[in-house]
């Protein structure tokens, strides 16, 4: 099965549950903040293969990339354990910004780019990030799930 045919990368996620859903106990709603105006307390990152899951507590600004020295301590979401270098993830690749009841994502002018639901992000421009979105950093693919 190619990555684009994997259940977490199918566009029909709004209307039916994921096939082979990983037991994460997360809501299946695409827009939970419309019903619940609270900011999630954490964001869960799920790899395309569903075999790796990690959760990061929400902070106002979360830099996504890879740490390889003490000077990279600003990286909150460290993708180094997921072959980030080989997959084209920059040290400071993208950023998630949380304000009030919304989360946005922006590419930090990374070399290999960031996509959101298959659409390339323009560098430094913020895009709304929602529960169930598919995000690719370089070639490293994740689905994000909000945890309340």
% the chain with pLDDT above 90: 65
Domains in the chain (CATH in brackets) are 3-147 (2.60.200.20)
Identify the band that residue 24 occupies on the pLDDT scale cut at 50, 70 and 90: very low
Phi, psi of 93 (to 5 degrees): -90, -50
Residue 112 to residue 3: CA distance in whole angstroms: 18
- pLDDT > 50? residue 8: no
Find tokens 């609270």 and name the residue. Answer: 38
Query: CA–CA distance from 18 to each of 28, 29, 32, 50, 117 (Å)?
Result: 8, 11, 17, 12, 16
- pLDDT > 80? residue 3: no
Residue 71 DSSP label: G
pTM: 0.75
Q: Which residue has the higher pLDDT, 15 or 49?
A: 49
Residues 81-96 have pLDDT tens digits of 999 999 999 999 999 9
Identify the band that residue 38 occupies on the pLDDT scale cut at 50, 70 and 90: confident
Identify the band that residue 37 occupies on the pLDDT scale cut at 50, 70 and 90: low
Predicted pLDDT of residue 2: 46
């Amino acid at each position: 099965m190619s990555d684009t045919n994997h259940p977490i990368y199918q566009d029909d996620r709004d209307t039916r549950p994921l096939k082979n859903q990983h037991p994460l106990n997360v809501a299946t709603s695409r827009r939970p903040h419309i019903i619940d105006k609270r900011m999630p307390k954490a964001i869960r990152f799920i790899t395309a293969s569903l075999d790796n899951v990690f959760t990061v507590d929400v902070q106002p600004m979360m830099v996504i990339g890879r740490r390889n020295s003490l000077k990279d301590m600003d990286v909150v979401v460290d993708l180094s354990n997921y072959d980030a270098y080989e997959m084209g993830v920059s040290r400071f690749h993208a950023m998630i910004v949380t304000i009030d009841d919304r989360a946005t994502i922006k590419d930090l002018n990374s070399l290999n780019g960031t996509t959101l639901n298959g659409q390339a992000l323009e560098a430094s421009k913020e895009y709304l990030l929602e529960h169930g979105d598919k995000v690719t950093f370089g070639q490293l693919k994740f689905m994000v799930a909000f945890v309340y």
